[in-house]
């Protein structure tokens, strides 16, 4: 380390990268072309993601962690697991011994911790305290801080990403980009090792799990598929050990004792990384846990990561053994049985050449340097993806997917729709997320109405809906009626996010129910089409009954009755056949109506005048 660093007061502010973690958080920057993590005044690189609220103010980090046992209700740990979560989610209250504001007091479904008796704070505000501390740490080192890249789990949904961005802004940070953690890790690893190939990033942190398959090729980092669980990590291992301790000592419900036992459980987990057996005194009694017992306790958790990994490999179209490497990220990957599980799952030895605790922050710093235009490299390109399909509800409760999962971002896609009823003056637009075919099985993101459409016959209004997902993975939706130009733009910002297992459940159910979902989708679509055909046919009969030939009306009526009956059943093929039958018996009638309409349109006009209009 140099004895003296000269500070240039005219130097531009330094961009920084932040890993906002469940257990620990870090801040890094690039110096001399190489990223480095910034330490505090005591030389510590990792900041415990703990915030304590007390009479004297707010404490963050190690000092806050020391108060967790004495003031468990006023000390918020693992706040990342609450980001974007709904207050009425049962999992919310399971995660910690906190007092929460009642729904009525909160005025929304956002989680609010009640600390110091009456003070209410949201996960966004708690996270902002952590980010503010990291910003001060960076300012102590760099004097002036520029924009920041903040990392998020790849499987964070819109609400969780927006909550993270709000926390960063609340902390006074200029957010250059939200970057997926596995992509950040791959960026740091790829530029450090200068390797090309197809890699998997297995990221098991304190509270979240991600798996990403991506291709590194001459500075291009292209994500092929991603998956994960936003409520699975080292914290769950600690809870499994704590449950074992409770079984040995008997149940305890006092929050201070529960917090102390969770801290002891984490210490036992760390000790078992090096030892085959650990014996500790907990609440005055000896507790003994062996490594085989610990591995049995966490086996179900590892099994959950394995199910996600197999799906992502299938989405990417590769086998684990064919990958050029598996990169380990996150503190929980230091656990020996995690590494053994990954080795068996991917049929190769995983890599941890770059410190698993630091690699995400290092990658974020590199990306911040590149985005700020201060990097020495201009040949790096990140191509990330969206984790779940995005679409709209259409007639019959069907999901029309506009942006499928694993679409490279930033991305945009358009779809066109029309009205189903005569004189319809507006469109109800329902934005959903998920892999199933029906809206009831998807996640609702936003609803809005496009009003002011002039009343027109069904099918004449033309609605164009555009989905845009930015580089942060955040969605905006624009709806525009083409004939009038009436438009509305909505930034999709839910007030809370998906619950623990919803994302993975969506994908598994999409696989399990794929065939029956498609049948149900066909039924819904055919019923809508049958309704449209029946309505237009009835309208035509009423308007032009004089054009019918002898016996024709009876044939059409019989075909309409048959279609009406089929539309109430559950056979898409029969419905389709009945629509074809009605079309066949009414075809001659439809042609006579068309001929009459054309004759009326050209009556009394010159041939050259009509020809000129047609050619134009």
- Is 472 marked active-site? no
User: Are 52 and 58 a contacting pair, CB within 8 Å?
Assistant: yes
Alpha-carbon gap, residue 275 to 299, rounded angstroms: 18
- Is 19 marked active-site? yes
Alpha-carbon gap, residue 437 to 307, rounded angstroms: 22
Alpha-carbon gap, residue 92 to 115, rounded angstroms: 16
Other CB atoms within a 10 A radius of the CB of residue 231 amount to 22
Place of tokens 């802004």: 169
Helices (H) and strands (E) in the chain, counts: 16, 27
Q: Are strands 325-329 and 408-409 parallel, antiparallel or unpaired?
A: unpaired
* List 80, 135, 224, 401, catalytic entry: 80
Going by C-alpha positions, the residue among 501, 466, 467, 461 that lies closest to residue 482 is: 461
User: Are 171 and 143 a contacting pair, CB within 8 Å?
Assistant: no
Partnered with residue 210 across adjacent β-strands are 203, 228
Angle, vertex CA 223, rays to CA 222 and CA 224, nearest 5: 110
Q: Is the dihedral of CA 315, 321, 327, 332 positive or negative?
A: positive
DSSP string, 47-67: EE-EEEEETTEEEETHHHHHT
Cα distance from N-terminal residue to C-terminal residue, the chain: 78
Angle, vertex CA 26, rays to CA 473 and CA 336, nearest 5: 95
Tokens of 457: 């016959």
User: Are 77 and 49 a contacting pair, CB within 8 Å?
Assistant: yes
Other CB atoms within a 10 A radius of the CB of residue 430 amount to 17
Helix axes 255-272, 291-316, angle to 10 degrees: 80
User: Are 329 and 350 a contacting pair, CB within 8 Å?
Assistant: no
Place of tokens 């698993």: 356
- Is 80 marked active-site? yes
* List 89, 129, 141, 181, catalytic entry: 181
3-state secondary structure at position 325: strand
* List 125, 158, 203, 393, catalytic entry: 203
User: Are 464 and 414 a contacting pair, CB within 8 Å?
Assistant: yes
- Is 229 marked active-site? no
Peptide bond into 410 cis (omega under 30): yes
Catalytic site positions = 19, 80, 181, 203
């Amino acid at each position: 380390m140099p004895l003296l660093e000269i500070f240039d007061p005219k130097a531009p502010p330094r961009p920084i990268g932040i890993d906002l973690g469940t257990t620990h958080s870090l801040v890094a920057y690039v110096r001399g072309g190489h990223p480095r993590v910034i330490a505090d005044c005591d030389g510590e690189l990792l900041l415990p993601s703990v915030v304590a609220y007390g009479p004297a103010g707010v404490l963050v980090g190690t000092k806050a962690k020391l108060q967790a046992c004495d003031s468990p209700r006023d000390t918020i740990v693992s706040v990342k697991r609450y980001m974007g979560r709904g207050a009425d989610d049962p999992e919310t209250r399971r995660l910690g011994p906190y007092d929460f504001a009642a729904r009525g007091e909160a005025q929304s479904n956002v989680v609010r911790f009640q600390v110091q008796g009456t003070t209410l704070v949201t996960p966004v505000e708690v996270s902002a305290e952590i980010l503010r501390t990291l910003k001060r740490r960076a300012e102590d080192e760099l004097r002036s801080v520029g924009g920041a890249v903040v990392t998020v789990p790849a499987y964070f949904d819109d609400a969780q990403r927006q909550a993270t961005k709000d926390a960063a802004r609340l902390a006074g940070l200029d957010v250059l980009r939200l970057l997926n953690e596995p992509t950040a890790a791959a960026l740091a690893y790829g530029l450090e090792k200068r390797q090309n190939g197809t890699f998997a990033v297995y990221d098991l942190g304190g509270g979240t799990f991600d798996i990403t398959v991506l291709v590194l090729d001459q500075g291009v980092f292209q994500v092929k598929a991603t998956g994960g669980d936003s409520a699975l990590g080292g914290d769950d291992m600690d809870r499994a050990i704590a449950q074992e301790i409770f079984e040995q000592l008997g149940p305890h419900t006092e929050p201070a004792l529960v917090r102390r036992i969770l801290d002891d459980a984490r210490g036992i987990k760390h000790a078992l990384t090096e030892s085959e057996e650990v014996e500790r005194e907990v609440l005055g009694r000896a507790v003994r846990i062996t490594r085989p017992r610990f591995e049995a306790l966490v086996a179900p958790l590892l099994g959950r990561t394995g199910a996600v990994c197999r799906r992502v490999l299938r989405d990417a179209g590769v086998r684990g053994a064919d990958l050029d490497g598996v990169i380990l990220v996150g503190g929980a990957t230091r656990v020996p049985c995690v590494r053994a599980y990954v080795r068996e799952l991917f049929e190769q030895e995983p890599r941890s050449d770059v410190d698993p605790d630091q690699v995400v922050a290092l990658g974020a710093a590199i990306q911040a340097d590149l985005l700020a235009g201060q990097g020495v490299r201009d040949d790096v390109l990140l191509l990330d993806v969206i984790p779940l399909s995005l679409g709209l509800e259409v007639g019959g409760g069907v999901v029309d997917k506009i942006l499928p999962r694993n679409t490279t971002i930033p991305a945009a896609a358009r779809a066109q729709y029309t009205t189903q009823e005569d004189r319809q003056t507006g469109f109800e637009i329902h934005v959903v997320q998920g892999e199933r075919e029906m809206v009831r099985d998807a996640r609702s993101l936003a609803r809005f109405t496009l009003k002011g459409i002039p009343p027109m016959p069904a099918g004449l209004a033309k609605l164009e809906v555009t989905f845009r997902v930015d580089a942060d993975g955040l969605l905006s939706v624009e709806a525009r009626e083409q004939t009038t130009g009436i438009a509305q733009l909505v930034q999709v910002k839910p007030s809370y996010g998906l619950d623990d297992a919803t994302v993975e459940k969506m994908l598994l159910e999409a696989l399990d129910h794929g065939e029956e979902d498609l049948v149900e989708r066909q039924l819904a679509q055919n019923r809508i089409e049958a309704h449209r055909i029946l309505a237009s046919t009835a309208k035509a009969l009423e308007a032009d009954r004089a054009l019918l030939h002898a016996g024709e009306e009876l044939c059409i009526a019989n075909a309409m009755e048959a279609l009406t009956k089929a539309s109430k059943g559950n056979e898409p093929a029969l419905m389709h056949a009945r629509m074809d039958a009605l079309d066949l018996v009414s075809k001659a009638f439809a042609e006579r109506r068309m001929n009459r309409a054309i004759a009326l349109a050209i009556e009394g006009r010159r041939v050259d005048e009509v020809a000129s209009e047609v050619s134009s």
